[in-house]
Amino acid sequence: MTAPPFALLAGRVFDGEAFLSDRAVVVRDGCIADLTLAPPAGLRVHRLPEGAILAPGFVDVQVNGGGGVLLNDDPSPEGIARIAAAHRRLGGTTALLPTLISDTRPAIGTAIDGVAAAIAAGVPGILGIHLEGPFLSSQRPGIHDPARLIPFEAGDVALLTGLGARGLTLVTLAPETVPLGTVAALRARGARVCAGHTADDGTALRRALDEGLDGVTHLFNAMSQLGPREAGAVGVALADPRLFAGIIADGYHVGDAQLGIARRLKGPERLMLVTDAMSPVGDPEARRTFTLFGRTIHRDGDRLAGADGTLAGAFLTMAGAVRHMAARGGASLEEALAMASLTPARFLGLDGRLGRIAPGYAADLVALDADFGVLGTCLGGDLAWAR
Q: Which residues are known to be catalytic? A: 276
CB 150 within 8 A of CB 131: no
Q: How far apart are CA 262 and CA 156, in angstroms?
A: 33
Residue 273's DSSP bridge partners are 247
Angle at 45 between CA 42 and CA 47, to 5 degrees: 150
Q: What CA–CA distances, in Å, run from 34 to 174, 223, 263, 272, 323?
A: 44, 44, 32, 27, 28
Residues in the chain: 387
261 vs 329: CA distance, rounded Å: 9
According to DSSP H, which parts of 123-210 are helical?
Answer: 156-160, 182-188, 203-210
Which one, of 23, 27, 22, lies nearest residue 7 by Cα? 27
Q: Find the helix or strand (DSSP H, E) in which 117 lies.
A: helix 105-120
